[in-house]
Structures are given as structure tokens and as C-alpha cells.
Amino acid sequence: MLLHQIRDSIENGYPKDTENYIQQALKEGYPIKRILEESMVPAMQKIGDLYRSADTFIPQILASARSMRKGLDALSPYLEKETDPSLAPIATVIVGTVAGDLHDIGKNLVAIMFRCAGFQIIDLGVDVSSKVFLKTIKEHPEVSLVCISTLLTTSMPQMKQLVKSIRHAFPGRPLKIMVGGAPVTQEFADEIGADGYTENAVDAARLARTFFTS
Ligand code: B12
């Protein structure tokens, strides 16, 4: 019931309701992963599909995006509690949306699923230049995975260039690179030399674990 209410409040764009329902669900002991996988991710996927079929207008999308952000903010403090500080992180991961692209909902979901799975996250935000990606990788030798997101076909060349620049700048470093976002495909990921691609955030965290735990 609560999971449905969270989902509806995101789809209908009521941020306050999303926040309240999520807080209630957390108090009642729903695991974060379940809230994400069963209500938040499907809600945003539905909004995306409606947008594609021209049934949803920009104000409604923005309201849903605001609900999603409120929901993720409400989850954050609980995420800290669920993570055991005595356990070393599986790996440190940089996440960011490529230059020219301001979409961050999918990227934020990827970051939160990775944190749930035991990774340490450095979130660079949106519209991140290659320069900032490279500088951050250089300044953080503990980083062993870079996750790049894009929602715009016009930003896909930047993604390709970024993967190339990372490989070129850190030739001997065992860095894995994952790419994703709605227009990205496995074929494109292979073509640009990324180590991994998945269609959604849940599978992304699962795939990343296989890089470091097998
Ligand atoms: C919400 C939205 C917006 C919001 C963004 C709010 C925000 N804070 O992010 C607003 C209204 C601001 C917006 C703006 C624009 N948008 Co917009 N937007 C969307 C919409 C409807 C949903 C995107 C979304 O959040 N989906 C839900 C999330 C959960 O899915 P996701 O991002 O794909 O992420 C999942 C997976 O892809 C994966 N994933 C994501 N990143 C990564 C990374 C890695 C490493 C991995 C492994 C996996 C992974 O995991 C995620 C969770 O499961 C899409 C339509 C669609 N069907 O995608 C259009 C869409 C992306 N937008 C589009 C456009 C054109 C724009 C604008 C240019 C519109 C304009 N004329 O101004 C601007 C762009 C401005 C800019 N410079 O970035 C187009 C892009 C077309 C194209 N081919 O490039 C789309 C496809 C709509 C369309 N059909 O025309 N948009």
C-alpha cells in the first residue's frame, strides 16, 4: 500500500506526499532497496514513457522530478544508518552526467543503488566536463570505477570522447568505466570501449560488484 502511495505521489508530482510516505515506509521498516526498486524507479520510468508518447507536459515532468528529489533526500539519512561504517567500501566510484546534459534522476538512482550495495560514491553532479572527471580521478587514487550517464543523444559524442580521454590519461591504472542512460546501448558501450553497461540502476550495482568481488 505505502509503496503504491509513494509511486503515485511521484507520478502525480506531489513532493510533500512523497517525502511523508517515504518517511512512513522507513519507520515501518521497509528496506531502502525495496522502496527504490518497487516504487521510485518504476514511477520515473512511467513518466519517461508518457513523455515519449507526448501524454505528459513539462510542468508535470518537473513536478515528478521534484518529488523524486524530495524522496531521495528523505532516504539519505537512513542510507548512512544502513551502511556499516566498520566495513571497508567495495570500491570508490565517481558518478556524473556528461557535459551539456542536465538530467540527473537516473544518475542519482545509480549513485544511491551503489551506496546501498556498499560502494563509496563521489558524485560530480550534472554537466560535468572531461577536465573535471580527469582531475577528480587524478586527485583520488582510490577511485577504481567511473560511471558516466547521459540522457541526450547530442551528448553521446562527449561520452565517447570522455572514455577515450580517461583511457589515454591513465594508461596503467586499473580503472573500470561504466556508461548508461536512456539512449545508451550495449552496442554503443562496446563501440566506445566501456567496461560495462546496464539498462537500469539495480543491474548497474550488481554488475559493478562482479568487477570487484569475483
Ligand atoms: C525528466 C526529464 C527531463 C527533466 C530533467 C529533470 C532532472 N533533474 O533530471 C527536464 C524537464 C529538466 C528535462 C530537460 C530537457 N530534456 Co528531458 N527528459 C526527461 C524524461 C521525461 C525522463 C528522464 C528520466 O529522468 N527518466 C527516469 C530515469 C530513472 O531514467 P534514466 O535517466 O534513463 O536512468 C535509468 C537508466 O538509464 C540507468 N542509468 C542512468 N544513468 C546511468 C549511468 C550508468 C553508468 C549506468 C550503468 C546506468 C545508468 O539507470 C537509471 C535508473 O534505472 C526523458 C524521457 C525519457 N523517456 O527518458 C526526457 C528526455 C531525456 N529529455 C529530452 C530533451 C530533448 C530535453 C531538453 C533538451 C528539452 C528542452 N528542449 O529544453 C532538456 C535538456 C536540457 C539539458 N541540457 O540537459 C529528450 C532527449 C532526446 C534525445 N534524443 O536526446 C528525452 C528523451 C525526451 C524526448 N523523447 O524527447 N528533461
pLDDT for 80 beyond 70: no
Is 87 among the domain residues? no
pLDDT: which is higher, 14 or 81: 14
* pLDDT (0 to 100) of residue 207: 95
pLDDT for 12 beyond 80: yes
Is 142 among the domain residues? yes
Is 75 among the domain residues? yes
Residues 106 and 155 in one domain: yes
pLDDT for 86 beyond 70: no
Residues 78 and 97 in one domain: no
Residues 207 and 176 in one domain: yes
Residues 50 and 135 in one domain: no
Closest CA to 32 of 81, 105, 103: 81
Cell of 167: 583511457
Residues 65 and 125 in one domain: no
Could you tell me if the CB of 110 is within 6 A of ligand 1?
yes
Could you tell me if the CB of 106 is within 6 A of ligand 1?
yes
* pLDDT (0 to 100) of residue 22: 96
Could you tell me if the CB of 107 is within 6 A of ligand 1?
yes
Find the 34 Cα to ligand 1 centroid distance in Å.
23
Find the 87 Cα to ligand 1 centroid distance in Å.
34
* pLDDT (0 to 100) of residue 214: 65
Q: What is the pLDDT of residues 109-142, one digit of tens each?
A: 899 888 878 899 999 999 999 999 999 999 999 9
Indicate which atom in ligand 1 lies nearest the CA of residue 155. Answer: 84
Q: What is the DSSP letter of 199?
A: S
- Answer with the one of 37, 64, 82 that is the final residue of a domain: 82
Closest CA to 13 of 69, 54, 53, 51: 69
The C-alpha atoms of residue 113 and residue 111 are separated, in whole angstroms, by: 6
Find the 214 Cα to ligand 1 centroid distance in Å.
33
Would you say 117 and 110 are in contact if contact means Cβ atoms under 8 Å apart?
A: no
Q: Which of 54-63, 78-87, 89-98 has the lowest mean pLDDT?
A: 78-87
- Phi first, then psi: give them for residue 92, nearest 5 degrees: -100, 135
Helix residue ranges, H only, the chain: 2-12, 15-27, 32-35, 41-52, 58-82, 105-116, 130-139, 156-169, 186-192, 201-213
Query: What is the number of domains present in the chain?
Result: 2
* pLDDT (0 to 100) of residue 75: 87
Averaged pLDDT of the chain? 90
* pLDDT (0 to 100) of residue 32: 87
Is 134 among the domain residues? yes
Q: Indicate the pTM of the whole model.
A: 0.89
- Answer with the one of 20, 47, 82 that is the final residue of a domain: 82
Interhelix angle 2-12/58-82, nearest 10 degrees: 140
Find the 107 Cα to ligand 1 centroid distance in Å.
10
Is 38 among the domain residues? yes
CA torsion through residues 52, 58, 59, 62, sign = positive
Q: Give the H/E segment covering residue 179.
A: strand 176-180
Find the 104 Cα to ligand 1 centroid distance in Å.
8
* pLDDT (0 to 100) of residue 9: 96
pLDDT band at residue 88 using 50, 70 and 90 as cut-offs: confident
Could you tell me if the CB of 71 is within 6 A of ligand 1?
no
Residues 156 and 59 in one domain: no
Is 25 among the domain residues? yes
Residues 173 and 73 in one domain: no
Tell me which residue range forms the domain holding 197.
92-212
Query: Which CATH number goes with the domain that contains 38?
Result: 1.10.1240.10
Q: Whose CA is nearest to atom 80 of ligand 1?
A: 152
Residues 63 and 117 in one domain: no
Residues 75 and 109 in one domain: no
Strand partners, 177: 146
Over residues 141-156, the mean pLDDT reads: 97
Query: Helix or strand or coil: residue 106?
Result: helix
Residues 126 and 167 in one domain: yes
Q: Which of 11, 37, 103, 199 has most ligand 1 atoms within 8 Å of CB, for mutation?
A: 103
Q: What is the pLDDT of residues 16-48, one digit of tens each?
A: 999 999 999 999 999 888 898 899 988 988 887
pLDDT band at residue 146 using 50, 70 and 90 as cut-offs: very high
- Answer with the one of 82, 107, 128 that is the final residue of a domain: 82
Cell of 76: 539519505
The C-alpha atoms of residue 93 and residue 115 are separated, in whole angstroms, by: 10
Would you say 177 and 145 are in contact if contact means Cβ atoms under 8 Å apart?
A: yes
